[in-house]
Structure formats: structure tokens, C-alpha cells
Structure 1
Amino acid sequence: MTHTTSSLITPDSGQWIQQIQAWASELGFSKIGVAGVDLSSAEPNLLHWLSLGYHGDMHYMELHGLKRARPAELVPGTISVITARMPYLPRSTAPDWQDRERARLDQPAEGVVSLYARGRDYHKVVRSRLRKLCDRIETLVGPFGHRVFSDSAPVLEKELASRSGQGWRGKHSMVLSREAGSMFFLGEIFVDFALEPTDPVSAHCGTCTACIDVCPTGAIVAPGVVDARRCISYLTIENHGPIPEELRPLMGNHIFGCDDCQTFCPWNKYAQTTELPDFDERSPLVGRQLVDLFAWDEETFLKRAEGGPIRRINHERWLRNIAVALGNALLQADEAQAHELRTALLGRANHESPLVREHVAWALAQRLP
């Protein structure tokens, strides 16, 4: 990043932020905020969380040391951080979407993919639109140094978002907003000029513990603290190896990610839908039977996951995740359905991958013929 401007807050800061918000809205962002670069008060919690091993195998969380909490070290020259919020509920989302998503959990033979993963890969969408926003900002302030991020670098996104008024940190650790719930992506622009920080908002979880109570694996170990090693999103996406056996029965029919803490959160009745077709649901991923998804060969998987977040896992881990869900479904199936599920599993019993074979064997053992 180049140094082009002073660290003194410009007298036009308020007007600039209003203009940036207007442009951001045109690009699909629902809210813009500004945070400073001093996150030193967040460092002790970050270090403590890492020391407890709650990041699991996400070694990148510790690779950059405290740069994660020090924007001006991560990107030298950074003076302010513009934060952005982009809703991702599909345009066709019904008002009772929470009820519908909760109902999927009662259909054990249906594979459930996290809502955010049913459309295009958000990393690409958010970053490309942040770059377009930067182009417009340049017409306002002149050439400036900047870098854009969206879950793509060692950035304390939720800390920056909460400090800049995007919402408060909910007990599930995500950012919650009174007018938008938590169904949105976060993005940041590190800039080398000074803007007046926007005010944070107060927390409104009160005594509610819905997210903690509903977490299938008990991953929310304290309000605002998640042990990723127990989180279904981590287990199905970030985890490259076997899923711990003691957690498999608790995963139900989740095959990529988990939204339970969000679909049961009362504030998400205010969740906003996106205006972008990028996040429309892709039909092969929604409401599909586990046996159909398990039948995908690698070519089919790559084709149907093209351009989406599910590409983050390979075909091997896709089969691993579905095998666990099939094992859980076996326990609740009638005899005819159990035969279908068992047949599907047997078709992968001799898979070339030891990882897949192990999870298929476990699934078959959940209910012997």
C-alpha cells in the first residue's frame, strides 16, 4: 500500500462516508462502517482462544501472529478500515425461511447444505464488488492505497465489524444486527487515509441462549466462544481428516456447514434478502436426497459445485460428509428406506480412499441388517 494521504481525519469524512454508503448500496452491500486500526484490546482474547486449541487444524489462524489484530502491520500504511455487510439470503426466500430450514433437520434422508453455500462463492462476489467500490472512492478522494478482504486473509473481521457498528457479537460469536440478523457476509477495505470511525452498537442478546442450546455438538462453549473442533462447519469443511467418531451421531444430516445457531436465533426474523442473483440457490444442492448426492462421481461433483463454496472441499470429503449423514439416517429409516441407504453405502464400501471407506464402514455399522 502506498502512502498518499494524511492520517488526519478529513473535514469531508462524514460526507465521504455517506457517498460511499450510497455507492455500496448500488453494489449490493447493505451497510458501510469505519473502524480504526488499534485492535490491541482484542489481542488477549485471540491469544487465549488460540492457546486453548479452539482453532483446531486451522493453522493459518496462528501463522501470522498478531498481524491478525494489527491491520497496519498486515498492510503497512493502513489508517482506516471500511467495513461492509452483504446479505446473502436468496432473492426468493420466503418469510418463514427459518421454519423451513429447521424442518429440513427432521428429514434425515435429505442432505442439508448451509444457506451461504447454495449460490456462488462469496469470496469472489464480495471482493470483486469491493474493488468496484474502490474505483468509485477514487473518484471522490483521488488515488489512494488500499486492499480488499472477505474471509481471505488474517483479518479480525468480526471485531472490525462490531467496532464499526455493523452489529454486536452474538453468543454464537457471529455479528448480529437488529435490522439484519446475522445472514450476511463481511468485507473490508484497508485504506491509507483517515475517516471518522462509525459508532458501535449495543448488544441485544439479553438472556437468550437459543444458539447455545441448539448447537448439535456443543461447540459454543461459552457466550461468544466457539470451539471450532466441535463445530459442524469446521468438521465438514476445514477438517481434512476423519470426523471424530463421538461427534458423528450429533451431525444429523448436515453435509456442508451448519446454520442451526442462526436458524434458531430470534433476531434472524429480520434477516434481509440479497438483490444479487449470485446467491440464488442452485437446485442440485437444495432439498436433495442423500443417496442422490452420494452417487455423484468426481466429475459430477466438480461440475455441480463449479463457482460455489463447496469446491473448497474435494470429492473425497464430500463423500465422507454424506457417509456420516447416511449412517445417521439409517437409524431412523423404515426397512424399505434402510435398504436403499445401505445399498448406497455398500456401493462406496471399497472406495479407493481410506477416508471414505472408514466413514462408510462406520455408517453401515450404525444399523446392521
Structure 2
Amino acid sequence: MNSKSKYTQLIKAEAKRLGFLSCGISKAGFLEEEAPRLEAWLNKNMHGEMRYMENHFDMRLDPTKLVEGSKSVVSLLLNYFPAEEQIDKSYKLSKYAYGADYHFVIKNKLKTLLNFMREEIGDVDGRAFVDSAPVLDKAWAAKSGLGWIGKHSNLLTQKVGSFYFIAELIIDLELDYDTPVTDHCGTCTACIDACPTEAITEPYVVDGSKCISYFTIELKDNIPSDFKGKLDDWMFGCDVCQDVCPWNRFSKSHSEPLFNPHPELLSMTKKDWEEITEDTFRKVFKKSAVKRTKFSGLKRNINFLKD
């Protein structure tokens, strides 16, 4: 076995030991297919007020411009599907936000993986990314054979569906590269038909400026009144397109204790949410990604749903 294959196997085995669902590797370089798609999406203003999407266009498409000397993109998936969900008829929270903020949980695992490479392989230079820099993580995960991009624009796998985080290490080490898998959406349009705000404008195209996640997390202004009654009781994020996807029948609950929700969260009723105080918010969402929207943002969302 050559050193490239040996190192590849070592990295994948350690990723598994750290609790990642899967690990795929691609050659770092320019994403030719993604470039025109991203440009067209931005030109149609489908990013709404997410102006950061316009920044670093070249870096977004070419990791060698982001991490000097990079040769490989190591993509990793981490499951967040919960064992239990919120009670029925409550205001809803995206499942990924039930537990501790994934940025910190995954960043620590990535640092451990990078340190492992340095100990086992030698001088490996690179950077860890969790949804925090101009990296097209879904495109890299698909290129690395971890799944295909579904019609709802999320990464999908036949074995476990789509309830997982995607992260990557961009490193200056040449490895064995994986190949993409085929698309298994077929003629299914479940996600397109179910989207409450019709944000999936055509297969594989999501108008971010109409997405419930955008309204409830990214948008700093008031939610447009045209969308009154269309948010389906989602107060932070939205899982509709994933919940209806047939491939998510295969989701299995995660085994990461840090992703377990605060005990109170799952049993809170609409009334509890409407009466939430800043103290309760801080307690229930102590280390959660929900802190991004702040107490005032969550209250705004609840009031929009309630009125």
C-alpha cells in the first residue's frame, strides 16, 4: 500500500472513531460546475439580505485560494437527528438547534482530527471549516461521494437521509480521492410540494429569500407581512423539506450527548413559548445556535406566528 492510501485509511478510521457518520475526500481545486450556478443564484437575488454570500466569490469556488498550498478537501458528516422531538402543536425549532451549538462541537472534533494527522503523518498544514467561511460544503461533500444534492438543495444519502452537519478540513496533503454518487431523487417532488413558502422554485433551486430559515434566523428586519400564516409555526429554522423526504425514513438518532436538548425544551407548549422570559431563554439555549437570533429575534418570530 502506498503512503497516500495508507494516510487516507488512517484519516477515515480516525474520523469514524471521533463519531463522524462518514468521511469523503476530494482534490482541492476550482468547482467548475458550481461557478455558473452560484453566479446565477446571486444575480437573481436569491440570497436576500445575506450579503456575505456575495463576498469572496473566487475563494468560495476554489479552496486553494482560501488555504494556501491546499491539495485535499476532507469532508465530514455528523449526525444530529434527535431521539425525541418537540411535542405536537408547539412552535417549532429546527432539529439541528436542539442541543449545543454545532460550530463548537464540530470544531473541536476537527482540531482533534488535524492533530491526529500531524502526530501520525507529520507536518500537515490546513484549516478546519464549519459553516463559517466561504466554503461550498454541500458541493464538496457531493464531490467526495458522501451523497448527492437533493431537489431541496440539501445533501442526501441513501443510508441516513439528510439530518447531519457538513464540515471540512482543507489540507496540504495529497490523498486518495473519492468519486461522486448518483442522484436518487428520481421523479419525487415531495420537498417542492410541501414547502410552505414555495421557496423551492424549481428542482435543485431554493430561493433563500423566501425560505422560513432565512426569515426566522438571517433576516434582521421585520418578516414581510405577505408571509403571514405561511410559516407553519416554525420559530427558528425549518425542517419541512427534510421531514417529507422519503430518504429520511432511514434517519437514526445521533449519539452525541452535547446535541441532547435542555430537558424543558421538548415539552414547552405554545403558551410557554409566548410567555418565555429572557432568563428561561438563556437557560434553555445556554450553548445553543438559537442564541444567534437572540431573545428579541425569537420573540419577534413568535409574535409573528401568534398575531
TM range (shorter): over 0.9
1:64 paired with 2:69, answer no
Distance in 2 between residues matched to 1:164 and 1:41, nearest whole Å: 14
Contact 1:113 1:285 in 2 (8 A): no
Question: 1:64-120 CA distances to partner (integer Å, 9 max, x unpaired)?
Answer: 122111101111111111000111113x35xxxxxx77x83xx2xx11111110011
Contact 2:148 2:182 in 1 (8 A): yes
Question: 1:191-227 CA distances to partner (integer Å, 9 max, x unpaired)?
Answer: 0111121111001000000001000000011111111
Distance in 1 between residues matched to 2:20 and 2:149, nearest whole Å: 20
3-state SS in 2 of match to 1:216: coil
1:85 paired with 2:77, answer yes
Contact 2:138 2:149 in 1 (8 A): yes
1:196-345 counterparts in 2 under 5 A?
A: 196-326=176-306
TM-score, structure 1 as length reference: 0.80
Out of 127, 136, 139, which is 2:107 matched to? 127
1:36 paired with 2:16, answer no
Moved more, 114-123 or 277-286: 277-286
1:150 paired with 2:130, answer yes
Query: Offset at 1:122?
Result: 0.5
Aligned residues: 306
Distance in 2 between residues matched to 1:300 and 1:272, nearest whole Å: 30
1:177 alignment partner in structure 2: 157
Out of 1, 14, 17, which is 2:8 matched to? 17
Distance in 2 between residues matched to 1:205 and 1:282, nearest whole Å: 35
Contact 1:217 1:230 in 2 (8 A): yes
Contact 2:197 2:210 in 1 (8 A): yes
The code of the aligned residue for 1:58 comes to M
Which ranges in structure 2 are unaligned for 5 or more consecutive residues? Answer: none
1:39-58 counterparts in 2 under 5 A?
A: 39-58=31-50
1:162 paired with 2:142, answer yes
Out of 76, 89, 93, which is 1:113 matched to? 93
3-state SS in 2 of match to 1:137: helix
Identity of aligned residues (%): 38
Distance in 2 between residues matched to 1:265 and 1:287, nearest whole Å: 25
Moved more, 47-56 or 298-307: 298-307
The code of the aligned residue for 2:275 comes to A
1:27 alignment partner in structure 2: 18
Distance in 1 between residues matched to 2:113 and 2:297, nearest whole Å: 36
Query: Offset at 1:49?
Result: 0.5
The code of the aligned residue for 1:67 comes to M
Runs of 4+ with >4 A deviation: none
Query: Offset at 1:15?
Result: 2.4
Contact 1:56 1:228 in 2 (8 A): yes
Contact 1:112 1:286 in 2 (8 A): no
TM-score, structure 2 as length reference: 0.96
